[in-house]
Amino acid sequence: MSVVTKLRSPVKPMAESRAILCSTGNRFRVSKTEIATKKPQQQPRVTKSPAAAKPDSSVTSNLTASTDDSYSSSSSERSSVKTKNSDKIITPSKRTGSVTKLNNNVVAVAVAVAEDISPEIPGPVKRCHWITPNSDPIYVLFHDEEWGVPVREDKKLFELLVFSQALAEFSWPSILHKRDAFRKLFEDFDPLAIAQFTEKRLMSLRVNGCLILSEQKLRAIVDNAKSVLKVKQEFGSFRNYCWRFVNHKPLRNGYRYGRQVPVKSPKAENISKDMMQRGFRCVGPTVIYSFLQVSGIVNDHLAGCFRYQECNVETEIEPKSPETETELDPHSP
């Protein structure tokens, strides 16, 4: 026994763990004492998402929610939670994870987060090419409410014919600013009254000491008023005479670009010739085409202009009076 004891070498504790070959490669086995003495690693910092961020104090004043962390972590996954001792229902927001409390039909939003998709803001209204951001407001209003609207009144048609003739001397904005003066000087464009104007009366048609139009245009207006009276005797009204060239239905061109809109057309040339033969003056094809556009006999709003379709609808829903039906054919019994 003593011999055996002497042959045995004393067992000394290992300073370091010995590498042991395992099936997955060389790894170290750590003793339990090392695990106990090893310092715990610092936990990684968890960054809360914006949805789970602490609500603002101004919002949390209206919020009644549990402070339990387990509830807040699972609130975004629940569709609705009913409390144990009350009938209150706490509903989490699907988008932000915020809690909404419904009590006596009162909704309190816990967290106000901007929508991912901003509400649609309507863009600027599309108008014809001759209306620009710098256009006179009265000109824009004229485009939006009058230009291209079908006109079927004799006095109004005669007024627009006079304004179309005045475009050789003034622009539309200038004419619109002087429209009240025109109506006052020309007896509200009554052809019967204008046909009786004398030379002295014509020379008195002044605004701020100047003739409202050139002498040639003034004399042409008087001659045209007399021609309108003759047309009314033959066709029943000046309206029937003007609209018969388009079969009493407006022409819809539907141009896409301003460069496509002409200053005259074959239809305007035919009307111009017919009017000249009946004694009208200063009614060239360009004047007549402007007259057709402004009176709505031709719808020349661009296809992209919001007034193009509106003028078409106004034409379709316009009721026909019994007087209109009888005036369509002046020779009918």
In percent, how much of the chain has pLDDT > 70?
Answer: 57
- Give pairs for 189-195: CB < 8 Å, separation 24+: 189/155, 189/156, 189/158, 189/159, 189/162, 190/155, 191/154, 191/155, 191/158, 191/225, 191/226, 191/228, 191/229, 191/232, 191/238, 192/225, 192/229, 194/221, 194/222, 194/225, 195/222, 195/225, 195/226, 195/229
Cα–Cα separations (whole angstroms), residue 186 to 32, 54, 221 = 115, 76, 9
Is residue 98 helix, strand or coil? coil
Q: Give the pLDDT band (50/70/90) at residue 101.
A: very low
Q: For position 124, what pLDDT does the model report?
A: 78
Q: Residue 31 — very low, low, confident or very high, per pLDDT cuts 50/70/90?
A: low
The two structure tokens encoding residue 39: 């310092």
How is the chain split among helix, strand and coil, in percent rounded to 5? 45, 10, 50
Tokens of 298: 């031709």
Average pLDDT value for the chain: 75
Q: Is there a binding annotation on residue 177? A: no
The span from the CA of 282 to the CA of 271, in Å, is 13
Give the pLDDT confidence score for residue 75 in this predicted structure: 45
Average pLDDT over residues 4-22: 50
Query: Is residue 128 marked as binding?
Result: yes
The span from the CA of 275 to the CA of 279, in Å, is 7
Report the alpha-carbon distance of residue 250 to residue 256 in Å, rounded.
18
Confidence band, pLDDT 50/70/90 cuts, at residue 253: very high
Per-residue model confidence (pLDDT) at position 122: 59
**Strand pairing report for 20-22 and 89-92:** unpaired
What pLDDT does residue 39 have?
52
SS3 73: helix
Distance CA 299, CA 4 (A): 125
Q: Are strands 251-252 and 89-92 parallel, antiparallel or unpaired?
A: unpaired
Of 149, 151, 211, residue with least CA distance to 186: 211
282 is annotated as contributing to ligand binding: no
Q: What DSSP string runs through 190-201?
A: -HHHHTT--HHH
